[in-house]
Amino acid sequence: MDFLNALIVFSNFVFIPALAYGSQLALGALGVTFIYGILRFSNFAHGDTMAFGAMITVLATWWLQSIGVTLGPVPTALLALPFGIIVCSFFILATDRAVYRFYRNQKAKPVILVIVSMGIMFIMNGLVRFIIGPNDQRFADGERFIISVREFKQLTGLREGLAFKTTQGITIITAILVVIILFWFLNKTRTGKSMRAYSDNEDLALLSGINPEKVVTVTWLIVAALATVAGTLYGLDKSFKPFVYFQLLLPIFASAIVGGLGNPIGAIAGGFIVAFSEVTITYAWKKVLKYSLPESLEPSGLMQLLSTDYKFAVSFVILIVVLLFRPTGLFKGKAF
Amino acid sequence: MENLKISLLFSLVAFLILITGFVQSWNTALLILNMGLISAIMSLGVNLQWGFAGLFNVGIMGFVALGGLAAVLVSAPPVYEAWSVGGARIIIALFFGVLAVITAGIWIKKIVDKRFKFWGAMIIALAGFFVYRAIFDVGVVAVEAVNPASTGYLGGLGLPVLMAWPIGGLLAAGAAWIIGKTALGLRSDYLAIATLGIAEIIIAIIKNEDWLARGVKNVIGLPRPAPYEIDLQQNEKFVSTANSIGIDPVTASTLYVKLIYAGLFSIVLIVVFILAQRALHSPWGRMMRAIRDNEVAAEAMGKNVTGRHLQIFILGSAVCGIAGAMMTTLDSQLTPGTYQPLRYTFLIWVMVIVGGSGNNLGAVLGGFIIWFLWVQVEPIGQFLMIILTSGLADDSTLKTHLMDSVAHMRLLTMGLLLLLVLRFSPRGLVPEK
C-alpha cells in the first residue's frame, strides 16, 4: 500500500486533466447559458463560435510568431487572444444584426431561433474549414511543462511522477480570472445588473427603462469573448481541429443543463461535474488501485468502466439522469 | 396555381437530373436520383416530426445509422464459429444489461422517497453494469479473435437484404422510444439536445463494438437485391440487348443495376408518401397540427400531448431508419466512419425547411433539390473559383488555398440557403396548405 503514490497517479491522470477540461467546459457552458438566459434559445452554433474564435487566435499567433514576438515560456496564443476576441465579437454581432435581430423583433418561437442558429453553425463551420482547413493545427509554443514527470520524481523521490502542463495551468488560471471578472461585472456594474434583471423578468426590465438592444449586444460580446477563450484554451491543451469543437457541443449542453440552463453558477458547476465524471469513468484505475489496495486485492484487469471512445455517453447519461430526476438542473434554471 | 407551381418545381428537378445525365454522365445522374429518393424519404420522416408536430429532432444521423446497422445484422452471413465461442455470452450479458435497466426503471416508478429513489436506481444500474461487463468482456474477446481480418464479429442472419428495411425502421423506432420517453414533455430544446446525444452515442457504439458490425473495419460486400454488374456483362442475352440498343455493355450493366435500385426506392418512397399524406388528412393528422399550433388548447380538449408527441416521434424516426437501411443496401457496405452530423442530420433539416415544412410534397421536393445542390455545388464552386482566380498567377499561395478550399463551399452554401429561406420564405418552396 502506498497512498502517496496512488494520490500522485490520481492527480496526474484524473484530477489535473479533469480540472483543465472542466474549466474549458465551464467557459463553454457559460456562453450557452448566457444566450439561453438573455436571448432564450439554445445556441447550436456555440461549438463553431468557439472554433471560429480559436481559429482567429491561431492565425494571430502564427502572425506574431512570424514577426518574432513571443511570450517566452508562456504560449504566444495568450497575446493573440485579444485579436481573436475582437474579430469573433465583430462576426457574432454581424450575425446578430443580419439574422437574429429579425426574429427577435418578430418574437419568433425559441425553436425557430434554434434552427436559425443551425444555419449560422453551417456557415461558421464552412468558414472555418474554408480559411484554415479541416486538419489539426498546432500553435502552442513556449515551455511545455510547469513541472515534468522527471523533475517531479527527482524533486520528491517518489516512484510515480506528476506532470503539470503549462497549458493546463494557464487554462485553470484563465478560467478563474474570467469567472471572477464575469461575476464582478454581473453583480457590480450597472450593465451587468440590467442583464440579470432582463434575464429574470423581461417585461419588468423593459418597464424600468432597460434598453433591450444594449443588453443583447453586451450579451453577444460576452459570449464571443467566452467562446474564444474557451476555444483557444481547449486548442492549446489538446489541439485545434474544427470538427472537435462541434462535438464539444454535447458536453457543453450537458454541463449547462446539469447546472440549470440560464444559471451562470450552475454552468460552472456543471462543467466540472461533466468533466470529472467523464475522466473518472473512462480512466483505467488499475495503477491507482495497485498502490492503494493491499497486494492480495490487486486488480487483474484495467479497471476501466468505459473505453474513452464512449466519453460522449457519459455526458449523455448525466443529461438523461438530470432530465429524469431534476429537469431544472441542480441550481434551478428554467426548464419549461 | 399551386398545382402548377408544384409540377413546375418537380419538372425542374427532373430537368436538372437529365442535364446531369447529358453533360456529366448517366451514372452520375442515376446516383443523384437514387440518393435523392433516399433523401426524400428521410426528409418525409423529419417532416412528420417537425412539420406535423413541431418536434425538433437533431439525431437523424443516429436513426439512419441504426437502419444501416440493421442491414448488416439482417443480411450479412452469420459467423458460426464466433457464435459458438462467444455468442451466447454476449446475448446473456445484453440480457442482464436490459434487466438491470428495467429493474432501475421499475424502482424509479415504485419508490416515492426522492433521495432513496435516485441512489437506489444508481446502485441497481451500477451493479447491473458490473455484472454485464464481467460476462460481456470475455465473450467479446473470444468473438473478435475469430479471423479478425475478415470477420471477427457475430455476423448477421443471412436473410434477404430487403427484410432489413422494415427491421431498420423498428430499430430506429426503439431508440426513438427511449429518447422520447425521457425528453418529451420538457422544453423543446431538451429533445434537441437529447437527440444530438443519442446520435453521437449510436455512432460511437457502431464504431467501437467490433463484435457487432466490425466497427471502423467496416462490413463490406453485403448481399444486394440487384444482380452484380459482372454477372450481367457475362450474360449473353444482356450483352446482345445492350448492343442492339447501342450502349456499351459495361455501361449498360451499371445503369441497369442503378435503375433497379431506383425502382425499389421509388416504391418505398411512394408507399411512405401515401401513408404520410393519408395521416396528414386524417383526424389524427388534424389533431397533430392542432397540438402543434396550440398545445394548451389541445390539452384542454383532452388530448394527451406528450403521448401523441411520442407516437409521431417514433414514427418519424422509424422512417429515417428505413431510409438508412436502404442507403446501406445501395452502398452494400456499412462504413460508420462516414456518418457526420452535418451531412446526415443538418442537411436533412435544410431539405425539410427549404422544401416546405408541414407539406409532404414539399419535403420530397426539398430532398431532391438539396441533394442535387449538395452534389453539384462542388463542381460549380470549382468552376466559379477558376473564373474568380483567373487573374492570379497559377502558383500564388492564395489561389492554391482557394482552390483547395472549394470543397468546403458546400457547408457555406447550405447554411446561407437555410437562412435565406427561413428569412424570406419561412414556409418553404411548397407551403403547407
**Confidence (pLDDT) at A261:** 86
Q: How far apart are CA B31 and CA A116, in angstroms?
A: 31
Task: Give the distance from residue A107's alpha carbon to the nearest chain B alpha carbon, in angstroms.
Answer: 14
* Helix, strand and coil percent figures for chain B, each rounded to 5: 80, 0, 20
Q: Which whole-number Å values give the CA distances from B242 to B231, B235, B248, B249, B254, in the listed order?
A: 14, 11, 7, 5, 12
Q: Residue B379 burial (CB < 10 Å; 0-12/13-18/19+)?
A: exposed
Task: Tell me whether residues B129 and A305 touch, CB distance under 8 A.
Answer: yes
In this prediction, residues A8-33 reach a mean pLDDT of 92
Q: Residue B43 — pLDDT band, cuts 50, 70, 90?
A: very high
Using the structure block, give the residue that is written with the C-alpha cell 474549414.
A129
In this prediction, residues B411-427 reach a mean pLDDT of 90
Task: Tell me whether residues A120 and B415 touch, CB distance under 8 A.
Answer: yes
Q: Which residues contact A247 (CB under 8 A, 6 or more apart)?
A: A47, A312, B200
**Confidence (pLDDT) at A335:** 42
Domain ranges of chain A: 3-250
**Confidence (pLDDT) at A336:** 40
Q: Residue A334 — pLDDT band, cuts 50, 70, 90?
A: low
In this prediction, residues B207-218 reach a mean pLDDT of 87
Out of B117, B193, B341, closest to residue A42 by CB = B193
pLDDT digits (tens, 9 = 90+) for A310-329: 888 888 888 888 887 888 88
Looking at A294-308, B50-64, B147-161, B248-262, which range is the least confident one? A294-308
**Confidence (pLDDT) at A1:** 55
ipTM above 0.90, yes or no: no
Number of C-beta neighbours around residue B287 at 10 A:
16
A246 CB neighbours in chain B (<8 A) are: 341-342
Mutate which: B109, B118, B190, B294, vs A, most A CBs within 10 A: B190
Q: Which three three-digit cell numbers place residue A113?
A: 431561433
Q: Which three three-digit cell numbers place residue B66?
A: 441504426
pLDDT digits (tens, 9 = 90+) for B84-142: 888 888 889 999 889 998 898 888 888 877 778 888 888 888 888 888 888 888 888 88
Is residue A131 less than 8 Å (CB to CB) from chain B? yes
Among A54, A83, A105, CA closest to A216: A105
**Confidence (pLDDT) at A333:** 62
Torsion angles phi and psi, residue B175, rounded to 5: -65, -40
Q: Residue A201 — pLDDT band, cuts 50, 70, 90?
A: confident
Q: Is the pLDDT of residue A292 over 90?
A: no
B416 CB neighbours in chain A (<8 A) are: 119, 123
Task: Tell me whether residues A119 and B409 touch, CB distance under 8 A.
Answer: no
Q: Which three three-digit cell numbers place residue B366?
A: 426539398
pLDDT digits (tens, 9 = 90+) for B143-188: 888 888 888 888 888 899 999 999 999 999 999 998 888 888 777 7
What is the share, in percent, of chain A residues with pLDDT greater than 70? 97
Task: Tell me whether residues B192 and A114 touch, CB distance under 8 A.
Answer: yes
For residue A71, the cross-strand partners are A74
Q: Which residues contact B263 (CB under 8 A, 6 or more apart)?
A: none
Alpha-carbon Rg for chain B in angstroms: 24
Nearest-Cα residue of chain B relative to residue A120: B415
**Confidence (pLDDT) at A200:** 86
Residue B52 contacts residue B280 (beta carbons within 8 Å): yes
Nearest-Cα residue of chain B relative to residue A101: B423
Q: Residue B37 — pLDDT band, cuts 50, 70, 90?
A: very high
What is the share, in percent, of chain A residues with pLDDT greater than 90? 44
For chain B, the residue count is 433
Q: A with B: how many residue pairs have Cβ under 8 Å apart?
A: 137
pLDDT digits (tens, 9 = 90+) for A94-148: 999 999 999 999 888 888 899 999 899 989 999 999 888 888 888 888 778 888 8
Among B392, B398, B373, B383, CA closest to A130: B398
Task: Give the distance from residue A144's alpha carbon to the nearest chain B alpha carbon, in angstroms.
Answer: 31
Q: How far apart are CA B183 and CA A80, in angstroms?
A: 41
Which range scores top for mean pLDDT: A59-68, A285-294, B400-409? A59-68
In this prediction, residues A49-59 reach a mean pLDDT of 95
Out of A115, A254, A335, closest to residue B353 by CB = A115
CATH class of A3-250: mainly alpha
Among B431, B350, B409, B295, CA closest to B60: B350
B209 CB neighbours in chain A (<8 A) are: none
Name the region of B54 (left: φ>0; alpha: ψ -120 to 50; beta: rest): left
Is residue B183 less than 8 Å (CB to CB) from chain A? yes
**Confidence (pLDDT) at B385:** 81
In this prediction, residues A224-245 reach a mean pLDDT of 91
Residue type, B300: A
Per DSSP, the residues of A220-266 read HHHHHHHHHHHHHHHHHHS-B-HHHHHHTHHHHHHHHHHH-TT-HHH
